[in-house]
């Protein structure tokens, strides 16, 4: 069975893009090269939009750990729910080595953003903080799946991830201050 998310991206082809944009097919082929190239460019664009929104929200957030964690959580779930294309593109390119490398690159970038935002509020080493951010983002992905299935509300998802984040940056809570 093909998911509806995949079938949405199945209709996005270089030909349909050229027609929608009112340009010739060679223009689109020259710019994107292949359908995966088009989808990867779209994925990067969505990431840029998400990252800009998260950074803007962080600039406006009160400088306290719980509020920074709440803003990061809200931004993460806004992406998960407001940009269904994100999951659809990822699913459509499952197994594409270039896409997998880009997903890792973008996840690393978001992990670094999160660690920078939380750095002033913890005594963890940089390595311990980054590893905890990786863990929190893994939990965020699982919570987003529950949210998208209708098994959690946005408020509950944000509260859960905020708590996990704040608890996760507590200095020495797992004895990894070495």
**Residue among 172, 75, 150 at smallest CA distance from 117:** 75
Residue 22 has what DSSP assignment?
Answer: T
pLDDT in tens, 40-72: 888 888 889 889 999 999 999 999 999 999 999
pLDDT (0 to 100) of residue 168: 94
List of residues 6+ apart from 47 with CB closer than 8 A: 106, 109
pLDDT (0 to 100) of residue 173: 46
pLDDT (0 to 100) of residue 174: 44
Largest CA distance in the chain: 60
pLDDT in tens, 137-152: 999 999 998 998 999 9
What whole-number distance in Å separates Cα of residue 80 and Cα of residue 74? Answer: 10
Residue for token digits 């990894």?
Answer: 176
Give the count of alpha carbons within 13 A of 96, CB side only: 16
pLDDT, average across residues 113-131: 96
The continuous run of DSSP H or E covering 152 comes out as none
Q: What radius of gyration, in Å, describes the C-alpha atoms of the chain?
A: 18
4 has pLDDT over 60: no
Angle at 167 between CA 166 and CA 173, to 5 degrees: 135
Query: Taking the domains of the chain in order of start, what are their residue ranges?
Result: 47-168
Residue for token digits 């984040």?
Answer: 165
Instruction: Count CB atoms within 10 A of the CB of residue 44.
Output: 14
The residue that leads in pLDDT, 25 or 54, is 54
């Amino acid at each position: 069975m093909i998911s509806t998310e995949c079938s949405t991206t199945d209709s996005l082809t270089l030909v349909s893009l050229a027609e929608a944009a009112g340009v010739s097919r060679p223009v689109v082929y020259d710019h994107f090269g292949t359908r995966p190239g088009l989808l990867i460019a779209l994925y990067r664009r969505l990431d840029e939009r998400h990252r800009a929104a998260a950074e803007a929200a962080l600039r406006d957030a009160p400088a306290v750990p719980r509020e920074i964690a709440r803003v990061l959580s809200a931004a993460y779930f806004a992406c998960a729910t407001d940009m269904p294309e994100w999951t659809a593109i990822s699913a459509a390119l499952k197994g594409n080595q270039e896409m997998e490398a880009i997903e890792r690159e973008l996840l690393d970038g978001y992990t670094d953003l999160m660690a920078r935002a939380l750095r002033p509020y913890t005594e963890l080493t940089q390595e311990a903080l980054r590893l905890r951010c990786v863990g929190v983002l893994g939990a965020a992905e699982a919570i987003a799946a529950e949210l998208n299935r209708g098994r959690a509300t946005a408020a509950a998802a944000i509260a859960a991830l905020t708590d996990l984040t704040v608890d996760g940056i507590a200095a020495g809570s797992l004895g990894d201050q070495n």
